């Protein structure tokens, strides 16, 4: 690139968004972050500044706030958008489906409208392996049927993917890379940023890290009677820095006028909950007390990726393994036992960016 292209990053103060911001900038792009800080912290933005050695333009606003979004597009010459903004807890989505549909879909509708208005037609969408529903075969490749999702959260991702296919069919100016994440884990090797859920973590790794650091008494293992080698759920954990790098490769793909394409971002390797506990115990030197608990609604037995298409078409492959994920997670958690801020319960995301 002669002049650095500018990438708008929605949800850039979140877990994956913040790690991706760093990789995007380190790859020669400039970036602008929008985040309503509904489920993230301004301190994360400060840490990103610290890691990079300079500030990244940041707007605290909700993507559903059309006027605010238009101002961002007016002020910056955006070339691509990485769309991370959204709510993402499977269990919560079953309890609050309307909030999930409303947040995730409305913010995407507004974003796409404003992009079209400003003639920005390149989007990387944060999708999820959950769009495959209960896997019919393993490893799951991109040809696997989508739909049949097991939670409202998953359905929002699937429906938005489908809408993007419709948009790409209707108007050839659109380019979409749908990145179907498997299970992001780990943290930036600096220990400055990492996953910091507000309220009790919904995912294994941050929960385990909070147990190790003394914030939670013990881990609950949801389901010990799954059809897997040790009975606990098997997932494809991927280092968040690997995932972040995958977005940089996706940006290059967009520049090739790709139309709409979907890629799995995973390692191709499945690990059980017990595998993860043992690896994390080793990395942290802490014992993780755990207790078996019933299955959670919406969870599947096993899910891991066939990631060969991403390697072939994006030139991307995960570099880091379980050891780095656990070591980097532990560095982040032990350096920041309470994450970015004192703990706070999570609430509904409102368009003004305040939690209810």
Q: Footprint of its own copies on this chain (CB under 8 A)?
A: 94-98, 101-102, 105-106, 109, 112-113, 116, 147, 152, 155, 159, 162-163, 166-167, 169-170
Taking the complex as a whole, the smallest distance from the CB of residue 339 to its own copies amounts, in Å, to 29
Q: Which of 184, 146, 182, 276 is nearest to 222 (CA)?
A: 276
Catalytic residue ranges: 153
Identity of the residue, 154 or 270, whose beta carbon is nearer to its own copies in the bound complex: 154
**126 contacts: CB under 8 Å, gap ≥ 6:** 11, 16, 82, 83, 84, 86, 179, 181
Identity of the residue, 97 or 189, whose beta carbon is nearer to its own copies in the bound complex: 97
Concatenated DSSP letters for 187-208? --TTSS-----SSS-SSHHHHH
Q: Which of 104, 114, 125 is nearest to 78 (CA)?
A: 114
Identity of the residue, 155 or 180, whose beta carbon is nearer to its own copies in the bound complex: 155
CA distances from 313 to 35, 74, 229 (A): 30, 33, 33
Taking the complex as a whole, the smallest distance from the CB of residue 93 to its own copies amounts, in Å, to 8
Taking the complex as a whole, the smallest distance from the CB of residue 101 to its own copies amounts, in Å, to 5
Identity of the residue, 47 or 64, whose beta carbon is nearer to its own copies in the bound complex: 64
Taking the complex as a whole, the smallest distance from the CB of residue 116 to its own copies amounts, in Å, to 8
Query: What number of CA atoms fall less than 13 Å from residue 143's CA on the CB side?
Result: 4
E strand or H helix at 47: helix 42-52
Taking the complex as a whole, the smallest distance from the CB of residue 126 to its own copies amounts, in Å, to 18
Residue identified by tokens 């097991």 is: 150
- The tokens for 148 are 């049949």
- Give the integer Cα–Cα distance in Å for 17 and 40: 10
Identity of the residue, 135 or 231, whose beta carbon is nearer to its own copies in the bound complex: 135
């Amino acid at each position: 690139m002669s002049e650095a292209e500018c990438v708008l990053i929605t949800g850039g103060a979140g877990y994956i968004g913040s790690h991706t911001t760093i990789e995007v900038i380190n790859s020669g792009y400039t970036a602008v972050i929008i985040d309503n800080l509904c489920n993230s912290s301004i301190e994360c933005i400060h840490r990103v500044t610290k890691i990079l050695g300079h500030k990244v333009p940041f707007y605290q606003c909700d993507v559903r706030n059309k006027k605010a979004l238009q101002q961002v597009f007016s002020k910056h010459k955006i070339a691509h958008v990485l769309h991370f903004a959204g709510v993402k807890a499977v269990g919560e989505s079953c309890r609050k489906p309307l909030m999930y549909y409303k947040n995730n879909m409305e913010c995407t509708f507004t974003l796409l409208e404003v992009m079209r208005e400003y003639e920005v037609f390149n989007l990387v969408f944060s999708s999820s392996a959950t769009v495959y529903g209960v896997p019919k075969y393993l490893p799951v490749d991109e040809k696997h049927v989508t739909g049949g999702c097991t939670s409202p959260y998953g359905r929002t991702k699937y429906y938005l993917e489908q809408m993007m296919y419709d948009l790409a069919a209707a108007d050839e100016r659109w380019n979409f890379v749908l990145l179907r994440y498997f299970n992001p884990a780990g943290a930036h090797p600096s220990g400055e940023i990492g996953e910091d859920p507000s309220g009790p973590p919904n995912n294994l790794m941050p929960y385990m890290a909070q147990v190790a650091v003394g914030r939670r008494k013990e881990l609950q293992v949801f389901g010990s009677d799954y059809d897997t080698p040790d009975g606990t759920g098997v997932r494809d954990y991927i280092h968040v820095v690997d995932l972040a790098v995958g977005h940089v490769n996706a940006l290059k793909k967009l520049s090739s006028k790709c139309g709409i394409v979907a890629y799995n971002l995973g390692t191709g390797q499945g690990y059980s909950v017990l595998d993860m506990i043992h690896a994390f115990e080793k990395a942290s030197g802490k014992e993780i007390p755990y207790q078996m608990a019933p299955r959670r609604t919406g969870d599947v037995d096993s899910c891991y990726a066939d990631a060969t298409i991403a390697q072939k078409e994006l030139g991307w492959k995960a570099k880091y393994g379980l050891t780095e994920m656990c070591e980097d997670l532990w560095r982040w958690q032990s350096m920041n036992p309470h994450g970015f801020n004192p703990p706070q319960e999570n609430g509904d995301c409102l368009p003004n960016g305040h939690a209810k």
